Structure 1
Amino acid sequence: MRIVVAQLPFPVGALDDNARRIIDAIGRARDEFGADLVVFPELAVTGYPPDDLLLRSDFHAAVERALARIAAACTGVTALVGAPLHRHGVVRNAAVALADGAEVGAAYKRCLPSYSVFDDNRHFRAGDAPCLLEVAGRRIGVAICEDIWAATPAAEAAAAGAELLVSINASPFHDGKQAEREGVAARRVAETGVPLLYANLVGGHDEVVYDGGSFALDDTGALSARAPAFADGLYALDWQGGALHGEQAEAVEGPPAVYQALVRATADYVRGNGFSGVVLGLSGGIDSALVAAVAADALGGDRVLAVMMPTRYTAERSLEDARAAAQALGLEYRSIPIESLFADYEQALAPLFAGREADATEENIQARIRGNCLMALSNKLGLMLLAAGNKSELAVGYATLYGDMCGGFAPLKDVYKTDVYRLAEYRNSLGPAVPAAIIEREPTAELRADQRDSDSLPPYRVLDAVLRQYLEDDAAEHEIRVEGLDAVELCRVIRLLYRNEYKRRQAAPGVKVTRRAFGRDRRYPITSGWSGCQGCSD
């Protein structure tokens, strides 16, 4: 028996386009691959997650029309298609079986997650029974995404006579996720003795990116096939005895996986929102240089406008490094000096600022002038503005609201500063991108004379170690251990984290690449008496 996994992108809400893509894949799987069964990801018809589109009756009517079109085209092969079904007064997350021009069965998701980026409990009624399909004389049990992370659905499908378990998924990427998935699937196989096929979505959607990496395990739990990460395609597997046999792509992890995730997410977000290119501020620092590399790889260097905006504090080396980065990536590069604009602001505000020392106010004015210029270019040229801020800066508020935080998308929003350096080194291993001078330079915002990030923050090695423990492991203050950090500085970092929630709420969306990203992953109040730090009274 031949099974084809359709590891393809299905944008949220694009029902007509998704139906066409599904119909095309069914035809190709049948005619080019000789498939008996073609398997699509979770909610392929609507994209995942459709969120509150699922509250609309007109949306569900359009889903039914799309399913009818797909069913009519499904002849000579069986298809398993993810879709929401609004029937008998309830909405369920379903895997719909289509064959001979008609719907022949459906399995319903039983375990409805409500954590991280998931909110299935808000929209769906859970299924309560296993579903078996018969295809070419073989009995196949169906599970949907979260179902495979619990033991019961797989066990009940096996008890009902399933010879193969097929799991359709929209499982978002974070670094290390592929190994987690394969480990969980291996436990299900060990418990049931039934081989397993895991079909996953690919492509970016808002704050998540799906990495594909569909795979199969034989009845011993050994890997017998794996599709490439972040690659669209139809992947054929032959089911013989207790195993599915197909190509085995290498698993991708660490900086290569994260970098691919950033590129794919940026490309799909920019194009999905109708932009042909992007604009960004190129400062001569490592964050903007890495964003420029991601943008160039996502869209092509000819679709990236990089703008340097120097003031009195901009070092000559910053001008040289920014120009070198743009040249290495083949970007259009422009310079807009903003010193005169900054001076005009100073003069206009001088009467009200009289008698007060210069401080972060003047620094923020420069950042906001730059943000204004970049937004103007975005509006006039029809380019999406990319923000260059990283997770470490957003965590502690080391970014200017309505300044360097301006943008339609922030590729590095979930990338710690120390990982920015690792990603830059990785990208340079593929070809020239981030000049060595930028990587070697001490981080600085260049908003006052001789400014260094270390004037305001602990070393990024220390800061990131605190943030990883506090944000991702939910460690309490007294549980955090970081060499070179005293209790006072730890308390200051935690307080900064809570104090800057209001900034993060106004930040551009950015893709999740860690276990706990800002946004849907971490939902904290803006106004709160909880400071997070119990170690001091200040």
Structure 2
Amino acid sequence: MKIAVAQLSFIIGDFEGNVKKMLKAVTTAKKQEADIICFSELATCGYPPRDFLEFDDFIRLAEEAVLTLAAAAKGIAIVAGSPSRNPVVEGKDLYNSVYFLANGKIKHVQHKTLLPTYDIFDEYRYFEPASEFQIVKYKGKKIALTVCEDIWNIGNENPMYDICPMDKMMPHQPDFMINVSASPFNYNHAKNRIHVLQSNVERYQMPIFYINHVGAQTEIIFDGGSLVMSPNGNVFEEMPYFKEQVKTFNLAEVRRGKTSRLQPKNKMKLIHDALVIGIKDYFGKLGFKKCILGLSGGIDSALTAVLAVRALGKKNVRVVLMPSQFSSDHSVNDAIDLAKNLGVQYDIIPIKNIYKSYLKELKPLFGDLPFNITEENIQARSRGMLLMALSNKFGNIVLNTSNKSEAAVGYGTLYGDMCGGLSVIGDLYKTEVFELCKWINRRKEIIPNNTITKPPSAELRPNQKDSDSLPDYDILDEILFQYIEKTQGPNEIIAMGFDPKLVRRVLRLVNINEFKRYQTAPVLRVSSKAFGMGRRMPIVGKYLS
């Protein structure tokens, strides 16, 4: 028997386009002489569909998509994820299901049992868990069908569920397992995924075909990396990251497990490729082509510009330099050098006169009050206004350039430098921004070296440096990582050797600035805990604030 794995990128709600892409893959699999082709979780409608699932019309279109695929399942079987209706009144109205289509009809449907409701996942909001566990027989083989989380209760120290669906299927003695998934990227997830699959193989002693999504859906990025596992624990094949591919495998060869192919897992390359596809798919799937961003000469906007060019092409990227009287000559020169290195259009719009006009109009109200953060924010908002004006006039989508460290402690201006349609590096700590820039420059200086080596500064007042308001980023980022990703409290972080006063100050800044993050653009997620839909904190609260 030969099984094809179709690792594809889908668009949420584009039933016609998704089915067309799947049918093309079916044709490819037939040419590869596959007996079965497997698609990912909720492939017909895209993942995650969220509240679209509450619309009867949406479910009807998903059902029609399944019937179209079933009609094409002649000479080959099709395995695909799609929502299905729960005929029982009690419980949720839908299941998250995997369909087995053969001989022109629906042969078997297995529902997902373990419904993740944490971080970015909210599946129990919509779906009823499975209560029946059957296998499907095809061409003399007995096949267990599972959906994503169904295999993730094995191979971890703190299982979240009290049931393992495969345990329920094992009495039927399946020959192999197919797992359709929508498993989002973070820079450590590929290693964890392999560990979980190997733990399943060790427990069930059978080949596993694991099919993952690839591509981005707003802030969530899917890396692909679909896996074919041999019973001896070898990774028979790990498919490419961030690329679509249809590849067919011989079950007998997989069972023998004499080969092992793994993809390299360099953290910076993974992050780079994830952010590039995140930008590319955000624009492509929404029908946008061109972006615009403010280029300050600093490292954050420089990194964002490079990633944008690699995602959209230099002709579709426009940058604007908006120096003030506080901007240094080297910052302007660094920005111009980068724009020339990238070959992008750049414009220079000084904001000194705009800033002065604001101060003039506000003088009757401000009186003789001293310069403070108000005047700094006026500069940032002037720049935001200019970017949005150019966006409105020419149709370029504004890219936000804030990093995770700044967003965490509120070191940014609402409606100013925090504006934009997509936050590109909002899940990268400042230390990771430096690391990624050095990785980009590993063979050739693309980002001016001075941009990387000079002390970070917002340049909103004379001789300003980030270190005037914030601790060194090496220290700040580790405290933030322990609090945000590792959910460690102040006592635990202090016990690691950090200054108690500093820890309490940083954690307070994180919590009191939740209102800012609530109003910002979606953040491309590359870590295990990004700001946005996966980190749900109250705006009004007293904990650590």
Match of 2:515 among 502, 509, 520: 502
Alignment correspondent of 2:227: 215
2:258 and 2:324 mapped to 1: Cα distance? 61
What secondary structure does 1:19 align onto? Answer: helix
Residue pair 2:115, 2:129 contacting (<8 A) in 1 also = yes
Q: How do residues 92-491 of structure 1 correspond to structure 2 at under 5 angstroms?
A: 92-151=95-154, 152-240=164-252, 242-243=255-256, 248-429=261-442, 431-481=444-494, 485-491=498-504
Residue pair 2:234, 2:260 contacting (<8 A) in 1 also = no
TM-score normalised per structure 1: 0.96
1:247 and 1:136 mapped to 2: Cα distance? 27
Residue pair 2:504, 2:544 contacting (<8 A) in 1 also = no
- Structure 2 vs 1, CA of residues 288 and 254 (structure 1 numbering), >3 Å: closer, same or farther? same
Alignment correspondent of 2:18: 18
- Structure 2 vs 1, CA of residues 380 and 225 (structure 1 numbering), >3 Å: closer, same or farther? same
Aligned residues: 531
Residue pair 2:100, 2:108 contacting (<8 A) in 1 also = yes
2:444 and 2:424 mapped to 1: Cα distance? 20
1:430 and 1:231 mapped to 2: Cα distance? 24
Residue pair 2:231, 2:257 contacting (<8 A) in 1 also = no
Matched, 1:29 2:43: no
Alignment correspondent of 2:84: 85
Residue pair 1:238, 1:244 contacting (<8 A) in 2 also = no
The percent of aligned pairs where both chains have the same amino acid is 38
Structure 1 stretch displaced more, 99-108 or 260-269:
99-108
**Could you tell me which amino acid in structure 2 is paired with residue 276 of structure 1?**
K
Residue pair 2:234, 2:259 contacting (<8 A) in 1 also = no
Which string of whole-angstrom CA distances, capped at 9 and with x for unpartnered residues, describes residues 287-328 of structure 1? Answer: 000000110111111110011001101111011100111111
Deviation at 1:238, TM superposition (A): 1.2
Which string of whole-angstrom CA distances, capped at 9 and with x for unpartnered residues, describes residues 199-230 of structure 1? Answer: 10000011210000001111111111110111
Alignment correspondent of 1:527: 540
- Structure 2 vs 1, CA of residues 246 and 303 (structure 1 numbering), >3 Å: closer, same or farther? farther
What secondary structure does 1:326 align onto? Answer: helix
Which string of whole-angstrom CA distances, capped at 9 and with x for unpartnered residues, describes residues 32-55 of structure 1? Answer: 211101000000001011011111
**Could you tell me which amino acid in structure 2 is paired with residue 109 of structure 1?**
K
Alignment correspondent of 2:8: 8
Residue pair 2:235, 2:260 contacting (<8 A) in 1 also = no
2:142 and 2:442 mapped to 1: Cα distance? 48
- Structure 2 vs 1, CA of residues 451 and 417 (structure 1 numbering), >3 Å: closer, same or farther? same
Deviation at 1:246, TM superposition (A): 8.2
**Could you tell me which amino acid in structure 2 is paired with residue 71 of structure 1?**
A
Alignment correspondent of 2:51: 52
Residue pair 2:494, 2:503 contacting (<8 A) in 1 also = no
Deviation at 1:233, TM superposition (A): 1.2
- Segments of 5+ residues of structure 1 without an aligned counterpart are 533-538
What secondary structure does 2:535 align onto? Answer: coil
Which string of whole-angstrom CA distances, capped at 9 and with x for unpartnered residues, describes residues 385-441 of structure 1? Answer: 000001100000000000000100001111111000111111122544311110001
Residue pair 2:292, 2:319 contacting (<8 A) in 1 also = yes
2:399 and 2:284 mapped to 1: Cα distance? 13
Deviation at 1:504, TM superposition (A): 0.2
Structure 1 stretch displaced more, 523-532 or 505-514:
523-532
Residue pair 1:239, 1:245 contacting (<8 A) in 2 also = no
**Could you tell me which amino acid in structure 2 is paired with residue 304 of structure 1?**
V
1:164 and 1:283 mapped to 2: Cα distance? 55
Structure 1 stretch displaced more, 495-504 or 232-241:
232-241
1:82 and 1:523 mapped to 2: Cα distance? 28
What secondary structure does 2:99 align onto? Answer: strand
What secondary structure does 1:4 align onto? Answer: strand
Deviation at 1:484, TM superposition (A): 7.9
Which string of whole-angstrom CA distances, capped at 9 and with x for unpartnered residues, describes residues 96-141 of structure 1? Answer: 1111221111111000110011111000011123332223221111
2:493 and 2:350 mapped to 1: Cα distance? 44
Q: For the aligned residues, what is the CA RMSD?
A: 1.5
2:496 and 2:122 mapped to 1: Cα distance? 38
2:401 and 2:13 mapped to 1: Cα distance? 29
Residue pair 1:158, 1:194 contacting (<8 A) in 2 also = no
1:80 and 1:305 mapped to 2: Cα distance? 43
Deviation at 1:87, TM superposition (A): 4.3
Which of structure 1's runs of 4+ aligned residues deviate more than 6 A?
244-247
TM-score normalised per structure 2: 0.95
**Could you tell me which amino acid in structure 1 is paired with residue 272 of structure 2?**
Y
Deviation at 1:249, TM superposition (A): 4.8
What secondary structure does 2:109 align onto? Answer: strand
Structure 1 stretch displaced more, 264-273 or 106-115:
264-273
What secondary structure does 1:96 align onto? Answer: strand
Alignment correspondent of 2:157: none
Which string of whole-angstrom CA distances, capped at 9 and with x for unpartnered residues, describes residues 22-70 of structure 1? Answer: 111112111x211101000000001011011111111111111111222
Residue pair 1:7, 1:233 contacting (<8 A) in 2 also = yes
Deviation at 1:250, TM superposition (A): 1.7
Residue pair 1:227, 1:247 contacting (<8 A) in 2 also = no
**Could you tell me which amino acid in structure 2 is paired with residue 14 of structure 1?**
D
What secondary structure does 1:203 align onto? Answer: strand
Residue pair 2:234, 2:257 contacting (<8 A) in 1 also = no
Deviation at 1:491, TM superposition (A): 1.1
Residue pair 1:36, 1:135 contacting (<8 A) in 2 also = no
2:412 and 2:123 mapped to 1: Cα distance? 34
Alignment correspondent of 1:535: none
- Structure 2 vs 1, CA of residues 110 and 253 (structure 1 numbering), >3 Å: closer, same or farther? farther
What secondary structure does 2:423 align onto? Answer: coil
1:128 and 1:185 mapped to 2: Cα distance? 23
Deviation at 1:343, TM superposition (A): 0.8
2:234 and 2:496 mapped to 1: Cα distance? 41
